[in-house]
Amino acid sequence: MPNAYISGTGGYVPEQIVTNDDLRDGYGIDTTHDWIVKRTGIEARRFAPEGTCSADLAVPAARKAIANAGLTEADVDMIVFATLSPKHAFPGDGVLLQEKLGLCEQGRFIPAMDLRNQCSGFLYGLAAASSMVQSGMVRHVLLVGGETHSAALDLSTRGRTVSSLFGDGAGAVIVSPTDEDRGIRGWYLGADGRFADVLCQKVWDMSKRPFFPVPEGREGPGRVEPEMMWAHMEGRQVFKNAVERMIQVLVSACWDQKIDLADIDLFCFHQANMRINQMVAQTMGIPEEKLIHNIQKYGNTTAATIPLLLAEAEESGRLVRGMKVACVAFGSGFTWGSAILDW
């Protein structure tokens, strides 16, 4: 069985920079730069222009990852797309990306799979992609995490707790086989469905007839009420569980891999809140210099945070061949995961 490794990385964020002051001055949100920085570490985020979906953001990220792997689009055998902000209810963004990359024109009707594991989506995708590569059934999997949150944020004072956190972007990696002694050594995933309501966006409810609610005293096909359009988050509960689960899943990974935390050269934590990551690092005695962040400039880009981190770290020379890397994520579901990689 070959090892599966990340042979290429790429990232893309839209041009428009929205600072914390822009949230206040441009959108009229009652907030301050200091409040957001103090609680989250976020200084700015990117917003995609109208007419752009997550698959559009994924195109340049995917192209960079493919080129970085020394491949062409025609070498990709499968697409795995992790997002919580797909363009439509269905089909998923994986098929949109396949078409946008020009694969259909080339007669490359490769499988395209969507994953809905929110902030843990990239690590769930890495587990799926590496297993498929190791099985020998596919060679090069294009794994993408991409989000366009800005379309679905309540950019008003009412929604400030959630809307100040999220930004748009995409990160991509290529997962390939190798006979070398390197690659994705193990992945560790978990979920706790008891917390499904604590962080969610319930635009519709397929258990109801009709699946959009009908306002009281009215008849008809139903309609989306504003509170159904935006994400609901019980922030403190998410924070507390995130710290606990991230520690647990990182310890499990080290235990299973028979390595010490000190053996890890670089920690790529999901970027939900810098304070969550600092608390995990402090609790575990991880030195600050081994942690990398992009939340200051991009906010929480959900499924895109880890592949964006990897792409930027590789591009800047912070992440080099031979390093041992730990990726850890936690998010809606609750879902969580970790992966240990020899780069």
Contacts with ligand UT7 by CB under 6 A lie at: 31, 35-36, 39-40, 119, 160-161, 164, 199, 233, 235-236, 238-239, 242, 272-273, 276, 300, 331
* Distance in Å, CB of 216 to ligand UT7, minimum: 28
C-alpha to C-alpha distances, 146 to 55, 266, 317, nearest whole angstrom: 7, 23, 23
Please check whether residue 143 is in contact with residue 8, taking contact to mean a CB–CB distance below 8 angstroms. Answer: no
Which runs of E-coded beta strand occur in 192-249?
199-200, 232-233
Is 180 exposed, middle or buried (CB count within 10 Å of its CB: 0-12, 13-18, 19+)? exposed
Of the pair 29, 62, the CB lying nearest ligand UT7 is at 29
If the CB atoms of residues 138 and 280 are measured against ligand UT7, the closer one turns out to be 280
Q: Running DSSP on this structure, what letter comes out for residue 288?
A: G
As measured in angstroms, the least distance from the Cβ of 295 to ligand UT7 is 10
Q: Is 172 helix (H, G, I), strand (E, B) or coil?
A: strand
Around 163, how many Cα atoms within 13 Å sit in the side-chain half-sphere?
Answer: 25
Q: Angle of helix 274-284 relative to helix 33-40, nearest 10 degrees? A: 30
Comparing CB distances to ligand UT7, the nearer of 17 and 279 is: 279
- Please, are residues 301 and 166 in contact by the beta-carbon 8 Å criterion? yes
Phi and psi at residue 170, to the nearest 5°: -145, 145
Catalytic residues: 119, 270, 300
Q: How far apart are the C-alpha atoms of 38 and 285, rounded to whole Å?
A: 22
Smallest distance, ligand UT7 to C-beta of residue 69, A = 28
Residue number with CB closer to ligand UT7 (176 or 241): 241
Q: Which is nearer to ligand UT7, 160 or 185 (CB)?
A: 160
